[in-house]
Structure 1
Amino acid sequence: MLILLPPSETKREGGGSDFFDVRRLRFPSLNVTRQRLVGELQSLALDEEASLRALKLSRRQLGEVNRNRELTVSGTMAAIDRYTGVLYDALDARSLPPEARAFAGQHLVIQSALLGPVGALDEIPAYRLSHDSRLPGVQLAKVWAPLAPHEIGADGQLVLDFRSEAYVALSPVADRGNSWFLRVVAGSPDGQVRALNHFNKKSKGVLTRALLLHGRPLSTVDEVFAVARDAGLRVEPGEAGEIRMVV
């Protein structure tokens, strides 16, 4: 089983004393591409104005450019701890018991625009690059779309795709019949549903936490429904290849 999460624009500061090294990341077949994009991002960071345009930042966010310039010599921390924001606040990885964190290290993957899919416990630096950022001469979707599907779900295990649609488009999972996309909707008294944003992210974090605390790999979507319902979450089949969570 793999749980696939999106990254976050916001990231926790700091990190340990070890410098970033792509060779320590999960999915080593992606390392040549990772190294190329890291180099491109650091080169871009030498030009502040070009960086602001490419990353769609204001001058008040120049600190993000500095992060990119120094990402290979800054401290690292586990990806699951590095990312912050609504989803990751709900997941609250730092409060997970050791066995749940170890389970995350095996079964949770985060899709980064810069590094592609990385393991939850892979040590990464703080950086700024989004799915819609524009590195000079690089189209991120064209870089990642052909590569990541060879790593995600290729062995036939269950893939729970909790990414945003933007990150799904950046790097689609191959349709092998073993992946399920989570769609979070709001119910209403008349039976209609509508898509959500803030609570979409929060609900994905809550469900991810429940699966990590369960601590056992699942092989069918019915098992996912059972774990979610035990956690007090309302989940049901959606369209083909979709799990629907109603909040």
Structure 2
Amino acid sequence: MFIFVPPSETKAFPSDAAPADLGSLALPELAPTREALRDALVRLCRGPAAKAREALGLSEGQSGESEHNREIANAPAAPAADVYTGVLYDALDLPTLRQRGVILDHVLIFSGLWGVVRPGDRIPHYRCSAGVKLPGAGSVSTAWRKALRDPLAGHVGADLVVDLRSGAYAGLWTPGANAVTVRVLHEREVNGVVKRTVVSHFNKATKGRLARSLLESGQRPRKPEEFAELVRGFGYTVEQGPAGTRPNAPTALDIVVSEL
């Protein structure tokens, strides 16, 4: 079983550590793409500040992100588990799991700059989402859809994929039929009527806790139906989600929550 998670916009700043070794990250054959995108990002951020902010979707108040990107090749790096922060990662709490000896290598974090990394892979603080277009390199998403296609298929093989990604990151690589996608629905009563909606905070926190429960359990379900039963055993309400429209589409599951 592999667990796919998105990155986070908020990241810690490693200090007093060596820079990242791109060849040591997950799927080392991706190193040329990583280097090309990193170098394009550096060139962008060493150019006109307004142009860099626009390309990266930053406000003037976030100019420090662009400034940090300029030196990213030599910036201190730390395990991705320590770099990514925010709601999902607070709930998942990878550093604590690592300290307890839980195996984390089958967790893959998707990234606009690095493609995929494992929690133990050392990366620097950076800002480059999957929706960015880099001068001279083009669309980050397009680059990764091409680069990830065969290496990731070979790495995942026939194992079950639990896909907790959302947004642009879900489009970087598409799993086949032996996969589940998860949507979190917040159920509440409004004027006597039960309503279900997708709420970002519930979505991220629940996915983080779900991934943590999977890792703590030590279970490795092989099929979508086994995964669904395991998650029900964790106490979640699990229902069939919208059916996919393409052949061999993953199984869509809804997890319904009423409170965090």
Which residue does 1:163 correspond to in 2? 165
State how far apart, in whole Å, the 2-side matches of 1:15 and 1:209 are. 27
Which residue does 2:180 correspond to in 1? 180
Q: Give the CA deviation at 1:33.
A: 0.6
Matched, 1:242 2:252: yes
Q: Give the CA deviation at 1:54.
A: 0.8
Alpha carbons of 1:205 and 1:16: their partners in 2 closer, same or farther (altered >3 Å)? farther
State how far apart, in whole Å, the 2-side matches of 1:29 and 1:80 are. 22
Pairwise mapping of residues 66-215 of structure 1 onto structure 2 (< 5 A)? 66-96=67-97, 98-101=99-102, 103-104=103-104, 106-137=105-136, 138-154=138-154, 155-169=157-171, 171-174=172-175, 176-188=176-188, 192-215=195-218
Contact 1:2/1:157 (8 A) holds in 2: yes
- Deviation readout 1:195-234 (Å, 9 max, x if unpaired): 2211101111010110111123221223323332333222
Q: Give the CA deviation at 1:129.
A: 0.4
Which residue does 2:247 correspond to in 1? none
Alpha carbons of 1:214 and 1:15: their partners in 2 closer, same or farther (altered >3 Å)? farther
State how far apart, in whole Å, the 2-side matches of 1:100 and 1:223 are. 25
Q: Which one has the bigger strand percentage?
A: 2
State how far apart, in whole Å, the 2-side matches of 1:13 and 1:145 are. 28
Contact 2:236/2:255 (8 A) holds in 1: yes
Q: Give the CA deviation at 1:134.
A: 2.4
- Deviation readout 1:95-121 (Å, 9 max, x if unpaired): 2253554x11x2100000011011121
DSSP 3-state at the match of 2:13:
coil
Rg (Cα) greater in structure: 2
Contact 1:100/1:212 (8 A) holds in 2: no
- Aligned pair count? 243
Q: Give the CA deviation at 1:49.
A: 2.3
Which residue does 1:51 correspond to in 2? 52
Contact 1:100/1:215 (8 A) holds in 2: no
Contact 2:23/2:29 (8 A) holds in 1: no
TM-score scaled by structure 1? 0.90
Aligned pair partner of 2:226 in 204, 223, 226: 223
Q: Give the CA deviation at 1:147.
A: 2.5
Alpha carbons of 1:131 and 1:5: their partners in 2 closer, same or farther (altered >3 Å)? same
The answer for unaligned runs of 5 or more in structure 2 is: 244-250
- Deviation readout 1:124-180 (Å, 9 max, x if unpaired): 1100001222211411222111232323354111111100132113x1314x31121
State how far apart, in whole Å, the 2-side matches of 1:158 and 1:100 are. 23
DSSP 3-state at the match of 1:3:
strand
- Deviation readout 1:3-29 (Å, 9 max, x if unpaired): 000001110112452211110101112
DSSP 3-state at the match of 1:19:
coil
